[in-house]
Structures are given as structure tokens and as C-alpha cells.
Amino acid sequence: MITNICCIGAGYVGGPTMAIIAQKCPHIKVTVVDLNEKRIAAWNDENVLNIPIYEPGLSDVVAEARGRNLFFSTDVDAAIDAADMIFISVNTPTKTYGVGKGMAADLKYIELCARQIARVAKNDKIVVEKSTLPVRTASAIKNILDHTGNGVNFQILSNPEFLAEGTAVEDLLAPDRVLIGGDTTPEGQKAIDLLVEVYANWVPKQNILTTNVWSSELSKLTANAFLAQRVSSINALSELCEKTGADVNEVARAIGMDSRIGPKFLKSSVGFGGSCFQKDILNLVYIAKSYGLNEVADYWEQVIIMNDHQKRRFAKNIVKTLYNTVSGKKIAFLGWAFKKDTNDTRESAAIYVADDLLNEQASIHVYDPKVGAVQIQSDLNYLETRSEASNSEGVHVYDNPYEACKDAHAIAVLTEWDEFKAYDWQKIYDAMLKPAFVFDGRNILDAEKMNAIGFQYYKIG
């Protein structure tokens, strides 16, 4: 039986996943470690509301387990040494240099973890890939462990995470499935059984799926590719709807009632964001190309091309509608996070729309309930489109939505936060310049009501 778990990486996956394991398995000591001291200090903050990741319900889970059997620490070696099972949950971003730049997953953090585990481990360990990895990474990890270790035995399992941000706690409590891939040898099977036992503390056995390692690794990339492909498919149709008078919400509803298609993940939007869809599809494209499968690679790359087009055409439409110029005009942004109920902004469509509008010399005024000025500036600076000084001159951040919208020429809704629907839109209208434009990149506002107030209201599709 597993009694001591270490997780390397206290991010959006490591933190919530381990908090739930600790909550549901009080007999297991769970230690989450990270090199980032600030992040660990925030996880340990006396006020549990200050934990570094905002997820509905997460602070309650942490409050229950922290200090009992859930610990956060920067002492990576000690946690590795003590653990029977080590989850690797570090970031695997797209490479920004060298071979595979802009496409392949950067595995340097994974390799560092493998080397550290090999150096520290003095008894047999099960190493679990929780990060999303290219198919066949397990063999690289095994190679490092077996050749640099202290002669102890390692079993490598693949256990990809399928939680979505904003619903992490509910996804972890009731996952559609838990996927565990392992070696087909008896030792591999034993390691799989031990991990199954951990999840079986709260997940029904029939929802725990076991496969070989390669299927598990590839299933994670495939799941994200299929999900993102649905969004790009409906977004592609949204542009056709705008030309033909069809309504994309009605089309989505009509096709979604076909049980073979299903109603979920068909919301047309300003484009998908988040740290994973783009990264994982680019990785899939890179892998296909590396095997010479160019048609396979092109097929999936189109999902990204469509998504880039959707973000760009949203910005272009704002410029075109505002009489072909936004120079010096105040454009209010409602939302900056890549989706509601998270403070994560990675790859958020808002960043790219802002970047395009700044190129047109617009003045951007942002309100997001969970994202502050430092993050917003850093997201734009990361693009290196212009100087940091120009970004801070062009972008203003508010903690009050009515202030952000006051005297604006136009409002762009970039995130589907529920509170946006409940605003006093008459009050917002009264304080704006006229004609008052609203570009609803999430189709969350009531078109009829907006038009009745007097807005020039544009939705997607």
C-alpha cells in the first residue's frame, strides 16, 4: 500500500490534484514540492484564501487537509527520499529555442526531475508522469533513472490529468475517467494496481482505465486535440453564420441534440486559450511530422490556424466597426482570464486582441475580477511586440468595471465571467460615448436587451 506521496510541481495541476488525494486518503502523507519559494509560501499562507491558485472550492479542501496529511515544501530532496510514489507535475511548455522551436514540448524540467529522483532515491520508487508529455517520454525517463540512479528499481506510470481550470475540484472529485498507463510486465502491473488503489478511495473502479504507457501518453494529447478541434469547428462556422444570417447558437443547439455529436464544448467564442490546447496540439503536430506523417500534422495544425484567425478577426471587426480607426479611442475589456472562474491568463485570447488593438493605437481599459495589473502587463510584455513603457502607457487596469467602461467608445467581452451578465447595463450605457458599441466575444449578454438599451451590439456568429 502507498503511504507516502511526493509531487514535484505545485502548479495548477500539482496543487489541486494532491489536495484532493490528501483529502480523500487521510492515510497517505502527501508532500507537494516546488523550486518556486513564493508559490510554496503562498500555499502555506495562514489565510487559506491566499493560496496561489483560484479554483472554486479549493481553499476548503486545502484547509481540511493541510497540516494533517498535506504539506507544501521547497525541500525537494527530502520529499523524494521519503516517498514510495513520486508524481512529476512540472510544466512542459512549447520550446522557445533550438530544434522544434515553437512546436515541440520542452522537456528540460522533466529531465531535471528524473535526474534529481535518480540521485536522491535510495529505495524502489514508482514514478508517475502527471504532466502532459509526448508519447514515448516514459522511455527517456526510465533511461535516465536506470543509468544515473543508485541501483534501485523504478516503475514508470503515465497518469495524465484531465481536469479543466475553473472546475478543477469537481473534475477531480468525480472524473469521467482516471487513466493509468504502465508496463505490461508483472512489476508494471503491480505498480498500476498500487495507483489504482489510491484513486479507488473515491473514484468508482469502472471509471479507472488502465492501458499500456504509450496509449496513455497519446490519449492525453488526443483528448485535448479533439476538444480544441470542436471549438475551432464551431468558430469556423461562426464566421459563416455572420455572412448568411444563420445564428451559431442555434446551429450549435441543433447539432448538439444529435447524441452522436453531443451538446458540450460547442460554444463559439473569441478563440480558445489556456496553457494546454495550443501547446499540446503543436506537440502532436511535431510528433506526426517527426514520423513523416505530414497529412496528419497538417490536419491538426488547422485547429490552431483557425483559432488564431478567430482572435485576429475579432480585433479586426472592432477596428472596422469603429469607422476603421481606434487610434486614441478608449476600448474597455471585460475579462482577461482565458475562461471564467480562474485567475490563469496563459494564452488568453484577450492578450492577442489587446496586442492587435494596441498596434492600432487604441487605449485599453481592463477589468477582470481575478486578474490584476501586474499579470496583465507581464502577459503583454512577454509578446515583445513593443516596449514595456508603451504597454503600460496603452493599458490601464481597474478594480471596478463601471470605471473601466466610463467614457469608452466600445466594450469588448473577453471572458464569460457570470457577474458580467448581472451588471447594470443601462448605467454603463449612460456613461459611454455614443454610439456605444459592445463586442461580445463570449455571447453571454442578451442581444435583445442590449439593443433595446441602445447599444450597437455585436456577438460572435
Q: Binding site: what residues are annotated?
A: 9-14, 34, 39, 90-94, 131-132, 161-165, 220-224, 260, 267-273, 276-279, 338-339, 346, 442
Q: Which residue stretch of 69-77, 205-213, 263-271, 294-302 sits at the interface with ligand UGA (rule: CB under 6 A)? A: 263-271
Q: Which of residues 116-155 bind ligand NAD (CB under 6 A)?
A: 131-132
Under rule CB under 6 A, residue 92 binds ligand UGA: no
Q: Which is nearer to ligand NAD, 112 or 200 (CB)?
A: 112
Q: Which residue stretch of 111-119, 260-268, 296-304, 405-413 sits at the interface with ligand UGA (rule: CB under 6 A)? A: 260-268
Q: Which is nearer to ligand UGA, 30 or 227 (CB)?
A: 227
Q: Which of residues 180-199 bind ligand UGA (CB under 6 A)?
A: none
Under rule CB under 6 A, residue 161 binds ligand UGA: yes
Q: Which cell numbers hold the place of 24? A: 480523500
CB of 161 to ligand UGA, least distance (A): 6
**Cβ-proximal residues to 104 (8 Å cutoff; 6+ apart), any chain:** 94, 95, 134, 282, 283, 286
Q: Which of residues 50-79 bind ligand NAD (CB under 6 A)?
A: 76
CB of 130 to ligand NAD, least distance (A): 6
Under rule CB under 6 A, residue 224 binds ligand UGA: yes
Burial, 135: exposed, middle or buried (Cβ in 10 Å; 0-12, 13-18, 19+)? buried
Binding mask 10-49 for ligand NAD (x = CB under 6 A): xxxxx------------------xxxx--x----------
Q: Which residue has the cell 444529435?
A: 258
Greatest Cα-to-Cα distance within the chain, rounded to the nearest angstrom: 74
Chain centre to alpha carbon of residue 358:
25
Q: Which is nearer to ligand UGA, 118 or 163 (CB)?
A: 163
Count Cα atoms within 13 angstroms, Cβ side, for 399.
4
**Cα end-to-end span (Å), the chain:** 54
* Catalytic hit among 6, 113, 241, 276: 276
Decide if 276 is catalytic. Answer: yes
Q: Which is nearer to ligand UGA, 72 or 417 (CB)?
A: 417
Count Cα atoms within 13 angstroms, Cβ side, for 29.
13
Candidates 59, 94, 131, 132; binder of ligand UGA (CB under 6 A) is: 132
Q: Which residue stretch of 89-97, 209-217, 287-295, 320-328 sits at the interface with ligand NAD (rule: CB under 6 A)? A: 89-97
Residues 166, 56: contact at Cβ < 8 Å?
Answer: yes
Q: Which residue stretch of 145-153, 158-166, 327-335, 427-435 sits at the interface with ligand UGA (rule: CB under 6 A)? A: 158-166
Under rule CB under 6 A, residue 158 binds ligand NAD: no
Candidates 22, 105, 231, 428; binder of ligand UGA (CB under 6 A) is: 231
Candidates 202, 265, 299, 398; binder of ligand UGA (CB under 6 A) is: 265
Under rule CB under 6 A, residue 269 binds ligand UGA: yes
Report the partner that residue 14 touches, choosing among ligand NAD, ligand UGA, none (CB closer than 5 to 8 A by kind).
Answer: ligand NAD
Which of 308, 311, 256 minimizes the C-alpha distance to 282? Answer: 308
Tallying the residues shown for the chain, one arrives at: 461
Report the partner that residue 109 touches, choosing among ligand NAD, ligand UGA, none (CB closer than 5 to 8 A by kind).
Answer: ligand NAD
Q: Which residue stretch of 9-17, 353-361, 418-426, 428-436 sits at the interface with ligand NAD (rule: CB under 6 A)? A: 9-17
Candidates 9, 175, 181, 461; binder of ligand NAD (CB under 6 A) is: 9
Report the partner that residue 231 touches, choosing among ligand UGA, ligand NAD, none (CB closer than 5 to 8 A by kind).
Answer: ligand UGA
CB of 9 to ligand NAD, least distance (A): 3
Q: Which residue stretch of 64-72, 88-96, 184-192, 267-275 sits at the interface with ligand UGA (rule: CB under 6 A)? A: 267-275
CA angle at 93 for the pair 270 and 283, rounded to the nearest 5°: 80
**Cβ-proximal residues to 378 (8 Å cutoff; 6+ apart), any chain:** none
Residues 413, 401: contact at Cβ < 8 Å?
Answer: no
- Work out the angle between the directed axes of helices 213-244 and 137-148 (0-180°, nearest 10): 150
Catalytic machinery residues: 276
Q: Interface residues with ligand UGA (CB under 6 A)?
A: 132, 161-165, 224, 227, 231, 265-267, 269, 272-274, 276-277, 338-339
Q: Interface residues with ligand NAD (CB under 6 A)?
A: 8-14, 33-36, 39, 76, 89-92, 109, 112-113, 131-132, 161, 163, 165, 275-276
